[in-house]
Amino acid sequence: MAKSLNILIAALSLLAFSPFCLCSKAYGSGGYLFPQFYDHSCPKAQEIVQSIVAKAFELDPRMPASLLRLHFHDCFVKGCDASILLDSSGTIISEKRSNPNRNSARGFELIEEIKHALEQECPETVSCADILALAARDSTVIVTGTGWEVPLGRRDSRGASLSGSNNDIPAPNNTFQTILTKFKRQGLDLVDLVSLSGSHTIGNSRCTSFRQRLYNQSGNGKPDLTLSQYYATLLRQRCPRSGGDQNLFFLDFATPFKFDNHYFKNLIMYKGLLSSDEILFTKNRESKELVKLYAENQEAFFEQFAKSMVKMGNISPLTGAKGEIRRICRRVNHAY
């Protein structure tokens, strides 16, 4: 834990002098977000999040990818409002039950651990939505050594959207145009799509998410020809035609626990695991050029990833008197 925490502290202390320091204000309804939001109301907030995320990484190297994914899946549904954390209760149907999240989204207990620690330090002050944004940033710092300043001040929703989770989050088998459209609906563009997809440089995916590429990509009983057939042969060993749905595979087989640009190098070699990954190289000229750029220039990828993460974190935040500051992230306050 000490090593991971030292990396976090060192990297974050340099943000003010880093090209990844993105300090612009993000305006929401009734207020705005800025990195210093808790400097007076909860000055140890970021330190607490950093410490718990570092401890979690030491125990579970998969956790950084899981926390990045939670933030992404939260922001694409009703904005960055921690709706993904809510359990089903009363009129709320949890987003945890959606197709993108069921049996795959994880890290909920860690977010609750962070929330509990923050409630002990400064009750009813730091939102669950901001915890998700900070934890995603700190996860990236642990595995890259670089990060960005997170605009803060989000508040938490009092509801969830199961239909939004099913319909708004890009799926592994979506076409390029469908995925780009889903990004544009959130105010994101093609550059954001390619750079944020680079988060697949860490993490895992289930057999069920890419099986069709191995056996029946286009409904004709043939594999996806944009997938390296040597790589496909290896994947079939643990992803059969039936069964093994939950078997896990690295999204980046080359450096699965290191946040780097090998994800983009894999795409150029037609070794992207998901169809939604490989189509960035095969279905659009502009995205193909970005893939080639990031494969050649890791710093360009890191810099754009930071910008796109801040941009994504600014999707429709609840600010001012909107929403609430949940005391427990999995339930709205009026449940008590």
| 242 contacts: CB under 8 Å, gap ≥ 6 | none
- 13 CB-near residues (< 8 Å, 6+ apart): none
Convert 303-322 to b/e letters by CB count within 10 Å (16 or more is b).
bbbbbbbbbbbbbebbbeeb
Q: Which of 73, 116, 200, 334 is catalytic?
A: 73
Coil, helix or strand for 286? helix
CA dist., res. 23 & res. 149, Å (int): 6
C-alpha span between 94 and 162 (Å, rounded): 6
CA atoms in the 13 A half-sphere facing the CB of 189: 5
CA dist., res. 227 & res. 301, Å (int): 23
Dihedral sign for Cα 212, 305, 46, 319, please. negative
262 annotated active-site: no
Q: Are 57 and 104 in contact (CB under 8 A)?
A: no
> Which token pair is 104?
């795959």
* Separation between Cα atoms, residue 51 and residue 29, nearest integer Å: 31
Residue 70: alpha-carbon gap to chain centroid:
5
Active site residues: 73
